[in-house]
Amino acid sequence: MDFYEVLNSRHSIRDFADESIPKDMMERIVRAAYSAPANDHFRDWHYVVVTDKEIMKNVIEGVPKNLTVKDVDSMTFISDPVQKESYQIAVPKQYRMLIDAAAIIIPLMKKKVDILNPSCLSDLNCYASIWCSIENVWLAAVAEGYGCNVRIPLGNEESIAKDALNIPEEYMIPCFIGIGRPAETAVYTKQIDVDYDTQIHWEMF
């Protein structure tokens, strides 16, 4: 698959086929993370790959399991119909899209600064860097015929996952990544069209 085909094929996949990913393939995909730019040049991220279903259950024990479309509508106040439909599709699948994946990948970054209370924009450099590495994993998965989704931990979801995986306190989990082969019946959410002519600027805004 050529690079631009990979870019244009990247979607959030929340419905997976019942298929495992060979370990050597998984390692190849995850290693792509370390080709991302790093703000401090250390690339000292860690990635935990979980394929055992019982461990996966323990990791995402804090993720809501039974949300409905009605719940979504009561939690959000969205007027745009495309965005609203996307939430109605995605939110009820938050647990299933992870537990039904072939694996859950856990990226880890050291908490070198308080990114939730930054003193300046540069404090977020480490957070920006690991998200570059996460995107590399996602694109590598697509290039190999797989798909991904991400969930950013809410509430106590991070602490539950860290306890389940013996992750030291000094590390932060930016997201959970579900990865697997897209199901033939996978539902793809609509995307809002980008007006490139008005959103890409030359020389000045």
- The answer to whether residues 130 and 174 touch, using CB atoms and an 8 Å cutoff, is yes
Task: Classify residue 182 by its DSSP letter.
Answer: B
pLDDT of residue 125: 93
Q: What integer best gives the mean pLDDT of the chain?
A: 95
pLDDT tens column, 3-46: 999 999 999 999 999 999 999 999 999 999 999 999 988 999 99
pLDDT tens column, 152-199: 999 999 999 999 999 999 999 999 999 999 999 999 988 889 999 999
* Ranges of each domain in the chain: 3-199
What's 3-199's CATH class?
alpha beta
Contacts of 48 (CB under 8 A, 6+ apart): 105, 106, 108, 165, 167
The amino acid occupying position 79 is S
pLDDT of residue 47: 99
- The answer to whether residues 45 and 106 touch, using CB atoms and an 8 Å cutoff, is no
Higher per-residue pLDDT: 192 or 133: 133
- The answer to whether residues 32 and 196 touch, using CB atoms and an 8 Å cutoff, is no
